[in-house]
Amino acid sequence: MIAIDKFCYASRLRYVNASEKFALAVITLLICIAGQSFVISAAVLAAMGVLTVRKGGLPFSRYGKMLLWPLGFLVLSTLAIAVNLSGTPLDLFAVPVGEWYITGSAAGAVRAARLIVTALAGVSCLYFLSLSTPMTDILTVLGYCRCPKLIIELMLLIYRFIFVLLDIASAITTAQNARLGNKDFRTAYHSFGQMASALLLRAFKKSNALYDAMEARCYDGAIRVLKEDYPPKAREIAAIAVFEFVLLILLAGRLTGWVM
């Protein structure tokens, strides 16, 4: 199992109604994206962090490290907004390079920071859902939402093959390391190419074997899994409604200009 899956099944929110968690994550994510506000994003980050760490039982150090992965990508991807190559220096900073300037404006820096915080808050929503709700429960909720069965089945098969391919890749990498297949960059580069080609062939073989096994078990176009239903609680629904109402008030404030 991958780490996120282990944390999910160990979470204290594991047995909370999946529809409640799904609604909380999705509605909060939409409000966060629509607002693109420092205040809304900070509120979402704090709320999702408390739910995931304090209520769910995930160690804060692990949660912090998981947030650092997308944060690094977001910082690098927003440099194009904050830093420009221009013939005219801007107000925040300007480094002359010949006749040009590597420069940036205060407005561009604020816009880049807002994008980073908004995106990170959106990631925290998805982390809350994925770290507290098993994939089968998420697919069940998607079924309740009338999501096409073909998409749900593809998601289930892809989810299944993530573990299959990770297991095969781990075995191949261990074998390569035992034979000094990664002793230097050139060798590691060659070994990675061999692993990728072998992984592609194994994926085709595994997919054919899986389909044969499904056909042998009377597969009729629908994959059925056991569903665990946990009844919703009025207190939890009320808490979600209050939280989303507060976010909507902040969103209205953002649109009218009194919330950053």
| Structure confidence by residue, pLDDT tens digits, 70-81 | 888 888 888 777
Domain tally, the chain: 2
Task: State both tokens at 241.
Answer: 């409604």
Q: Which of 115, 110, 118, 113 is nearest to 43 (CA)?
A: 118
- How does pLDDT run across 217-256, given as a tens digit for each residue? 877 777 777 777 788 889 999 999 999 999 999 888 887 8
Q: Same domain for 168 and 178?
A: yes
Claim to verify: residue 82 and residue 205 sit in the same structural domain: no
Kindly state whether residues 124 and 6 are assigned to the same domain. Answer: yes
Residue pLDDT, tens place only, 122-142: 999 999 998 888 888 888 888
User: Contact 28/251 with Cβ under 8 angstroms?
Assistant: no
- The answer to whether residues 3 and 106 belong to one domain is yes
Q: What is the residue whose two structure tokens read 């239903």?
A: 229
Task: State which residues form the domain around 7.
Answer: 1-133+231-260
pTM: 0.81
Residues 104 and 15 in one domain: yes
> Cα separation of 108 and 105, whole Å?
5
Tell whether 204 and 239 lie within a shared domain.
Answer: no
Residue 238 or 215, more confident:
238
**Are 126 and 173 contained in the same domain?**
no
Is residue 204 located within the same domain as residue 124?
no
Shared domain for 156 and 199, answered yes or no, is yes
Same domain, 3 and 105: yes
Asked whether 81 and 118 are in contact (CB, 8 A), the reply is no
pLDDT, tens digit (0-9, with 9 covering 90-100), for 67-115: 888 888 888 888 777 777 777 777 777 777 777 777 777 787 888 888 8
Closest CA to 134 of 15, 224, 45: 15
* 10/119 same-domain check: yes
Neighbours of 2 (CB within 10 A): 10
126 and 170 housed in the same domain = no
